[in-house]
């Protein structure tokens, strides 16, 4: 028996075990791997399967946070906004927001003052400054109810949120990190200067030894703390549900709207997937355990009422073609209402003096994920004397190395290289994958060369790429997180994709 024990393989080891495959976990994995650390990231479901795919899909400073005097957060977010725009111009692009003063609970002078601060707080360089328009005479007012006049037009950015997560994970993997989805942390305990963690995945349960542990589990952050023996638990998380609806297009144009409600909350109306308008979000306390969230009838009514207040098209709940909801794991600052809870983040470091570190992430927003990761590594690098310094500011994400950040010119070149392929397909692939669209298209000069056509522009070549390079394992991964093709494909596509994925070999990226 002793001989058998002596012959047992030693547990695998890594510098950093990261729990959570949302934007914060993926961002920290990328940053750490680029500093030369060995990284293992585990995610119990799919990458971006909850909060990070349920955002309003904006890279923005958070104009409304100025009302709560969150000046540091807004400034940091505004600086990051332009940084991220340069790092991923395929999945992030500028978006004009129209802020009508009809139905406004705030005087125009106060709104304009806030926009002045918004324009100047973060050293804006790439995006246009705020301007004033008369919606009665401007095409920006199309689709609105009669009576709309003064409006302010300011700029922020759109982001494909779940793709941002995947691209951070992809970059981390190319720098040496291991990304394991459908894998959860069972337990962890300190073993001297290491963490001894049990993780369970598709191939069973195994032990991992890690020099440091990062708890980036989002809504499950407290659950992970309970699984980590001896971890400090003096921080709290407040769960807030945010829901969105997708309705047939409310207006023509590429601009968005920021709508003010009588309760002083704001709702966005944003062009979505060509044929639709995305409307959201809500702020509702989540009292139960973390899990899959769904919009409530009351939230749907609230968003529909907001639309009816401003737009000529009087939508009803039955007009909603799709909805989604997510739980935001905000740091509990004991604010009186959900809308006022801080969106800033808190990084709690437990360990030191010979103990292996545990870093827990509370709060945060998608715009500041890169800075959050940088701050997280600032807290962890003392435990890794050989780690390299900061590097992510301005480092392109996969596919983002578009010459001169000129997406339109890149898209034209891609179309010229594949003249026989549908222009809608090429534009979508350029937007989703940037320069890596070439890995899907290869030398294809016909749609047949891309393999099985699953419908809606989804081909076998793209599904293979998503499975081989982006950890897609199900039809939902493909149709609603790696893309939004679920809104466009014909009946039967999901089942066909599911069957195809089940029947192919699944290499680990």
Closest CA to 462 of 88, 447, 50: 447
Please state the rounded mean pLDDT for residues 129-139. 95
Is the per-residue pLDDT at 1 higher than 50? no
The percent of residues in the chain predicted with pLDDT above 70, rounded, is 94
Q: What is the pLDDT of residue 7?
A: 55
Residue-wise pLDDT for 145-182, tens only, equals: 988 899 999 999 999 999 999 999 999 999 999 999 99
Burial 470-502 (b: 16+ CB within 10 A, else e): bbbbbbbbbbbbbbbbbbbbeeebbebbbebbe
Asked if pLDDT for residue 234 goes beyond 70, the answer is no
Q: What is the mean pLDDT of residues 229-258?
A: 89
Rounded CA separation 200/43 (Å):
10
Integer Cα distance of 138 and 144 in angstroms = 11
Q: Please, what is the average pLDDT of the chain?
A: 93
What pLDDT, on the 0 to 100 scale, is given for residue 177? 98
- Cβ atoms < 10 Å from Cβ of 357: 22
Q: Average pLDDT in the 142-147 region?
A: 91
What's the confidence (pLDDT) of residue 122?
84
Q: Give me the mean pLDDT over the 253-257 stretch.
A: 97
If pLDDT is split at 50, 70 and 90, which confidence band does 340 have?
Answer: low
At residue 337 the predicted structure's pLDDT band, cuts being 50, 70 and 90, is low
CB 255 within 8 A of CB 351: no
Q: What is the pLDDT of residues 76-101, one digit of tens each?
A: 999 999 999 999 999 999 999 999 99
Q: Which pLDDT does position 334 carry in this prediction?
A: 56
Name the pLDDT band for 135 (thresholds 50, 70, 90): very high
Mean pLDDT confidence for 54-74: 91
pLDDT digits (tens, 9 = 90+) for 277-328: 999 999 999 988 899 999 999 999 999 999 999 999 999 999 999 999 999 9
Q: Kindly indicate the confidence band of residue 4, based on its pLDDT and cuts at 50, 70 and 90.
A: very low
> Dihedral of CA 37/42/48/50: which sign?
negative
Sign of CA dihedral 100, 104, 108, 113: negative
User: Cis (ω within 30 of 0) for the bond into 281?
Assistant: yes
What would the mean pLDDT of 412-434 be, rounded to a whole number? 97
| Strand pairing class (150-159; 178-180) | unpaired
Q: What is the mean pLDDT of residues 322-340?
A: 75
213 neighbors 357 (Cβ within 8 angstroms): yes
Bond prior to 161 in cis (omega within 30° of 0): no
**Which whole-number Å values give the CA distances from 376 to 75, 112, 216, 341, 347, in the listed order?**
19, 35, 11, 22, 7
Cβ atoms 246, 323 nearer than 8 A: yes
- Asked if the model's pLDDT at residue 336 lies above 70, the reply is no
User: Contact 145/447 with Cβ under 8 angstroms?
Assistant: no
Query: How high is the pLDDT of residue 5?
Result: 45
What are the C-alpha distances in Å from 124 to residues 66, 162, 392, 501?
17, 26, 20, 45
Query: How far is it, in rounded angstroms, from Cα 298 to Cα 318?
Result: 13
3 state SS of 1: coil
């Amino acid at each position: 028996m002793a001989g058998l024990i002596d012959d047992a393989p030693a547990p695998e080891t890594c510098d950093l075990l990261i729990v959570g495959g949302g934007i914060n976990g993926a961002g920290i994995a990328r940053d750490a791997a680029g500093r030369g650390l060995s990284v293992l990231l585990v995610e119990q479901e799919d990458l971006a399967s909850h909060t990070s795919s349920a955002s309003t899909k904006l890279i923005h400073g958070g104009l409304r946070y100025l009302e709560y005097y969150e000046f540091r957060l807004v400034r940091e977010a505004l600086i990051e906004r332009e940084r991220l725009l340069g790092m991923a111009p395929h999945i992030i692009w500028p978006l004009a927001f129209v802020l009508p003063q009809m139905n406004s609970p705030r005087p125009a002078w106060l709104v304009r003052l806030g926009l002045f601060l918004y324009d100047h707080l973060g050293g804006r360089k790439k995006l246009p400054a705020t301007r004033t328009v008369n919606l009665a005479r401007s095409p920006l007012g199309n689709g609105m109810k009669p009576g709309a006049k003064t409006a302010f037009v300011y700029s922020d950015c759109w982001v494909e949120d779940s793709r941002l997560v995947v691209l951070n994970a992809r970059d981390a993997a190319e720098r040496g990190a291991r990304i394991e989805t459908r894998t959860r942390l069972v337990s962890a305990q300190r073993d001297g200067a290491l963490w001894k963690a049990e993780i369970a995945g598709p191939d069973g349960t195994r032990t991992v030894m890690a020099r440091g542990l990062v708890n980036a589990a989002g809504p499950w952050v407290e659950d992970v703390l309970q699984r980590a023996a001896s971890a400090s638990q003096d921080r709290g998380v407040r769960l807030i549900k945010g829901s969105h609806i997708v309705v047939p297009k409310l207006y023509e144009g590429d601009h968005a709207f920021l709508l003010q409600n009588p309760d002083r909350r704001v709702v966005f109306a944003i062009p979505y997937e060509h044929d639709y308008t995305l409307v959201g979000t809500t702020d509702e306390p989540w009292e139960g355990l973390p899990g899959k969230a769904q919009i409530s009838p009351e939230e749907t009514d609230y968003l529909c009422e907001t639309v009816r207040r401003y737009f000529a098209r009087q939508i009803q709940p039955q007009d909603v073609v799709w909805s989604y909801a997510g739980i935001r794991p905000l740091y509990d600052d004991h604010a009186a209402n959900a809308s006022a809870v801080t969106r800033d983040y808190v990084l709690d470091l437990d360990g030191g003096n010979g103990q292996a570190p545990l870093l827990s992430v509370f709060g945060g927003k998608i715009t500041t994920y890169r800075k959050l990761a940088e701050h997280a590594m600032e807290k962890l690098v003392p435990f890794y004397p050989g780690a390299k310094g900061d590097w992510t500011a301005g480092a392109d994400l996969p596919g983002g190395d578009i010459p001169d950040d000129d997406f339109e010119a890149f898209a034209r070149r891609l179309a010229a290289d594949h003249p026989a392929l549908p222009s809608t397909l090429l534009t979508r692939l350029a937007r989703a994958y940037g320069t890596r669209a070439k890995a899907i298209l290869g030398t294809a000069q016909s749609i047949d060369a891309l393999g099985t056509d699953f419908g809606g522009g989804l081909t076998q070549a793209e599904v293979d790429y998503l499975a081989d390079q982006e950890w897609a394992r199900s039809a939902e991964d493909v149709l609603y997180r790696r893309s939004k093709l679920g809104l466009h494909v014909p009946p039967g596509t999901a089942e066909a994709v599911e069957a195809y994925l089940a029947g192919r070999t699944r290499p680990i990226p």
